[in-house]
């Protein structure tokens, strides 16, 4: 694998080729795209009438290399709504440039997807967050962008969107409000938050000093994904809802005996999978009825 950020960028025609390959094989049009975070692949397991494509069989697609990311694109029906699910996403630390990590979002766009739900596992920085809580992302801090790394780097493809897209309304306020209502109706009132997510390059978890700095900057949860997908989705005018499952506490004290690890992340995700399936199912149902089917 060539790990250089200077790998040849995807052309519009390559993305179109991938979308056409999938359209030929899927007999319905997904309106909502779902990206499953670490250990959250079970969200896709519940789809009815599934059509599955291992990433290695899709032209131009990267492949997943992380445990808890099965590496399949799954089409099917969730709450009777046609959706496409990424059971496994791509991260910068796997060696992929950000534009490659986010490429499936553009494929979804060309397939007719208008709404993206991006989920992730994240460390909880906010003092009130507990493992198992859900944070609806109201904004992000693009730390990788601060360091000059952005999925939209390179010549702009006007057919997707403008050279300089705004990002101050990245997360759909109405969908956040509705998701809170849905969460509360599922008995999640005490486990629901809205907050600011930040993505670091990974793969190491953060130092104490890094976490303290992020907290001072206003970050509530920290992860290694999502931001590049959201930027790419907003660039091509997709509506975005994102949430973090808080899978571990961020360790802010030097004398703590704890160390974060991927197993606890996966365990926390497993513990919450049934609740999240219900939560996402109801959100999808709302989006489809109130947004996608409106005349």
Ligand X SMILES: Nc1nc2[nH]cnc2c(=O)[nH]1
Ligand Y SMILES: O=P(O)(O)O[C@@H]1C[C@H](O)[C@@H](CO)O1
Q: Which residues contact 132 (CB under 8 A, 6 or more apart)?
A: 191, 245, 246, 268, 271, 272
Q: Which residues contact 174 (CB under 8 A, 6 or more apart)?
A: none
Nearer to ligand Y by Cβ, of 242 and 292: the residue is 242
- Gap between the Cα atoms of 71 and 49, Å rounded: 19
Nearer to ligand Y by Cβ, of 19 and 280: the residue is 280
The CA dihedral of 125, 129, 130, 135, to the nearest 10 degrees, is -100
Select the binding partner of residue 70 from ligand X, ligand Y, none (C-beta < 5 to 8 A, by kind). Answer: none
Asked if 115 is an active-site residue, the reply is no
Asked if 235 is an active-site residue, the reply is no
Report the residue from 95, 132, 154, 260 that binds ligand X according to the rule CB under 6 A. Answer: 260
- Minimum Å gap between C-beta 141 and ligand X is 13
The CA dihedral of 97, 10, 31, 237, to the nearest 10 degrees, is 80
- Gap between the Cα atoms of 151 and 230, Å rounded: 10
Nearer to ligand X by Cβ, of 9 and 252: the residue is 252
Residue 121 interacts with ligand X (CB under 6 A): yes or no: yes
Residue 219 interacts with ligand Y (CB under 6 A): yes or no: no
- Gap between the Cα atoms of 228 and 174, Å rounded: 22
- Minimum Å gap between C-beta 85 and ligand X is 20
Select the binding partner of residue 91 from ligand X, ligand Y, none (C-beta < 5 to 8 A, by kind). Answer: ligand Y
Nearer to ligand X by Cβ, of 66 and 240: the residue is 66
Report the residue from 38, 87, 194, 273 that binds ligand Y according to the rule CB under 6 A. Answer: 38
Residue 231 interacts with ligand Y (CB under 6 A): yes or no: no
Contact 41, 113 (CB under 8 A): no
Asked if 38 is an active-site residue, the reply is yes
Residue showing tokens 């986010």: 102
Q: Coil, strand or helix: which one is 208?
A: helix
Residue 200 interacts with ligand X (CB under 6 A): yes or no: yes
The binding site for phosphate comprises: 38, 69, 89-91, 121, 225
Q: Which two tokens stand for residue 168?
A: 């101050």
Which residues of the chain form contacts with ligand Y (CB under 6 A)? 37-38, 66, 89, 91, 120-121, 202, 223-225, 262, 265
The set of catalytic residues is: 38, 69, 91, 93-94, 121, 224-225, 248, 262
């Amino acid at each position: 694998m060539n790990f250089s950020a200077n790998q040849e960028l995807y052309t519009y025609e390559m993305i179109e080729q991938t979308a056409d390959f999938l359209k030929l094989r899927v007999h319905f049009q997904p309106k909502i795209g779902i990206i499953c975070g670490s250990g959250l692949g079970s969200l896709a397991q519940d789809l009815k009438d599934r059509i599955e494509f291992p990433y290695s069989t899709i032209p131009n697609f990267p492949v997943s290399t992380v445990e808890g990311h099965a590496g399949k694109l799954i089409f099917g029906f969730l709450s009777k709504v046609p959706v496409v699910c990424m059971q496994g996403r791509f991260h910068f630390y796997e060696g992929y440039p950000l534009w490659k990590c986010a490429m499936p979002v553009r494929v979804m766009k060309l397939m007719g997807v208008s709404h993206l739900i991006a989920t992730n596992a994240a460390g909880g920085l906010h003092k009130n967050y507990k493992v198992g809580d859900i944070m609806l992302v109201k904004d992000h801090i693009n730390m990788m962008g601060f360091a000059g790394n952005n999925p939209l780097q390179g010549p702009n493809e006007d057919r997707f969107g403008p050279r300089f897209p705004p990002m101050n309304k990245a997360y759909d306020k109405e969908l956040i409000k509705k998701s809170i209502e849905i969460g509360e109706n599922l008995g999640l009132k005490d486990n629901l938050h809205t907050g600011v997510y930040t993505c670091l390059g990974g793969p190491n978890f953060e130092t104490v000093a890094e976490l303290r700095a992020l907290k001072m900057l206003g970050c509530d949860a920290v992860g290694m994904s999502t931001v590049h997908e959201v930027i790419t989705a907003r660039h091509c005018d997709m509506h975005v809802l994102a949430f973090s499952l808080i899978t571990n506490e961020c360790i802010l004290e030097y004398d703590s005996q704890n160390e974060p690890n991927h197993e606890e992340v996966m365990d926390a995700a497993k513990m919450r999978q049934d609740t999240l399936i219900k939560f996402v199912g109801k959100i999808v149902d709302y989006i489809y009825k109130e947004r996608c089917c409106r005349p």
